[in-house]
Structure 1
């Protein structure tokens, strides 16, 4: 029964097989596994428990994953404490394979990325932003030479890798973590991309945007994909309070003819109002801005929006 459910869920993701080997195989109750997600990262698989519904079946689930997919490694993470609170430092274990097998590379369109299922709760690549990353690359392919890209809250710089592969002359990454930016540099190297001046900024995203305003820097594409909360050098970022003012600031350094993608995994945002608020903020600078699209997660996130651990609001604005 469990293996049949896994096979059925896997087959639903068939349209992605030629695109990538990193995707969500099971997204909770929508795929018959309440409180559980299963992600594939190349030859390694990650099981996450966001509820206790299937914790008693933990061993049986790992065995079913091994028998169905023949992975090199299976890592299990518990994202919920026994008292029901969400855990950022999730307990994790290698349930199959070795610790060395938990790290490797995955492919996504023309790009490759390093992942490590044991590094933190996030392996290094957010799967629900794949369709936007691929679009960013295509948008830069259609642009002229000497175009610039800005990636705020850049994490491991996957958007910028796609932008550079698409032809961006410079892809600037801003993140508060030096360790994370080092992983971005590794992803550049993995894809044969040279490091260009001004591409890595360790610091607060708002700090960078205000610096760029003072310097008169302009960009042809911007991605703003912040966490719900962040803290850096005594400054707090709260997505409910601070996102839309930051959107307006970013709009001031966006060139006419450019694009601006804004997204959030904050579960209390509703897509229509979020897209409308983003457009209003951009129009405070670019009066003729228009919404190119608004959407949630890709096809591998079946039932997206039904639970707090599977939600995304994203919108693309063109100016």
Structure 2
């Protein structure tokens, strides 16, 4: 029975197999496994327990997964305590294979990304934003008509370029022509990799973590992308947006994908309170014909209301802005929105 459910779930994702080797195989109750997810990252698999339902059958599930997929390793993470409380620092176990096998690379369209299933709860790539990353690349390719459909062969520069702190240099985000991209709360810079592969001249990444930005540099190098002045800013996204506004910088695409809550230098970012004002500030940085994509995993947001509020925030600056689309997670997240651990609201607005 368990193997049949696994096989059915796997076959549901068949349309992704040519696109990527990183996708969700099981998304909880919608695939017959309540409180459990199974993700593929290349040759390694990740099992997460978000509820108690499948915990008594943990070993049985791992054995079934190992037999069906023969992975290099299976990492198991318990995302809740025995009392049912959500855990940010989830216990992790190598249930199959070796610890070394937890580190590797995955492919996503033209891009490659580093992953480490034992680094933190998040391996380095959020699977539910794949469809948006691929669209960002396509949009920049359409802007330039020059973005290669193959991975470029540029020799990557050193990845340990100094992190910009507190205040970007005067050259940050500037280039001698070509479309520009801004990636706020950039994490490991996967959106920017796709933008650069699509032909963006500069893809600026803003994140409060220097360690995370170093991982972004590694992803640039993995894809043969040179590091350009002003592409990595360590600091608060609001700080960068306001600095860019003072400098008169403009962008042809912006992605705003914040965590629900964040703290930086005494400032507490709350997505309910601060997101829409930040969208308005970002809108002022957009060139004519540009786009902005805004998303959130905050489970209390409803898609229609979220898309309406984002459009209103952009229209406070550009009155003719229009919604291109509003959507949730991609097809591998069956039953998206049914549980707090599988929810996404995303919308893209064009000028």
TM-score range, shorter chain: over 0.9
1:37 aligns with 2:37: yes
Q: Secondary structure at the match of 1:143?
A: helix
User: In the alignment, what sits opposite 2:85?
Assistant: 85
- Map 1:119-198 onto structure 2 (within 5 A): 119-144=119-144, 146-198=178-230
Q: Which residue of 1 aligns with 2:300?
A: 268
Q: Secondary structure at the match of 1:294?
A: strand
Deviation digits for residues 52-72 of structure 1 (CA, Å, limit 9, x no counterpart): 001011111100000010100
2: distance between equivalents of 1:262 and 1:270?
14
Provide the rounded CA distance (Å) in 1 between the counterparts of 2:225 and 2:211.
Answer: 19
Q: Name the structure 1 match of 2:170.
A: none
* CA offsets 1:276-295 (integer angstroms, 9 cap, x no match): 00000000001100000000
Q: Show structure 1 runs of 4+ deviating over 2 A.
A: none
Task: Measure, in 2, the Cα distance between the counterparts of 1:215 and 1:83.
Answer: 51
Deviations 1:200-225 (A, max 9, x none): 00000000000000110000000000
1:7-18 paired onto structure 2 within 5 Å? 7-18=7-18
Q: How far did 1:38 drift?
A: 0.1
| 2:258 aligned with 1:226 | yes
2:235, 2:285 → 1: CA distance? Answer: 18
Shift of 1:234: 0.5
Structure 2 CA distance for aligned equivalents of residues 244 and 87 of structure 1? 28
Offset from partner CA, 1:103-135 (integer Å, 9 cap, x none): 100000000000000000000000000000000
Name the counterpart of 1:116. Answer: 116
280, 285, 291: which is aligned to 1:259? 291
Cα displacement string for residues 171-225 of structure 1 (whole angstroms, at most 9, x for unaligned residues): 0000000000000000000000000000000000000000000110000000000
The root-mean-square deviation of aligned C-alpha atoms, in Å, is: 0.5
Q: 5+ residue gaps in structure 2? A: 145-176
CA distance in 1, matches of 2:255, 2:287: 14
C-alpha distance in 2, partners of 1:81/1:201? 36
2 CA distance for matches of 1:36 and 1:112? 27
Q: Provide the C-alpha distance between the structure 2 equivalents of 1:279 and 1:49, rounded to a whole number of angstroms.
A: 36
The more displaced of 164-173 and 1-10 is 1-10
Distance in 2 between the 1:88 and 1:131 partners?
26
> 2:306 matched to 1:283?
no
What is aligned with 2:4?
A: 4
Stretches of structure 1 lacking an aligned partner (at least 5 in a row): none
Q: Secondary structure at the match of 1:142?
A: helix
- Give the corresponding residue for 1:315: 347
Question: Structure 1 residue 75: deviation in Å?
Answer: 0.1
Tell me which residue corresponds to 1:100: 100
Separation in 2, partners of 1:241, 1:82 = 32
Secondary structure at the aligned position of 1:149 is classed as strand
- How far is the alpha carbon of 1:270 from its aligned partner? 0.1
Aligned length: 319
Which residue in 2 is equivalent to 1:207? Answer: 239
Displacement of 1:85 in angstroms is: 1.3
Once residues 53 and 276 of structure 1 are traced to their aligned partners in structure 2, the CA distance between those partners, rounded to angstroms, is 37
How far 1:34 moved relative to its partner? 0.2
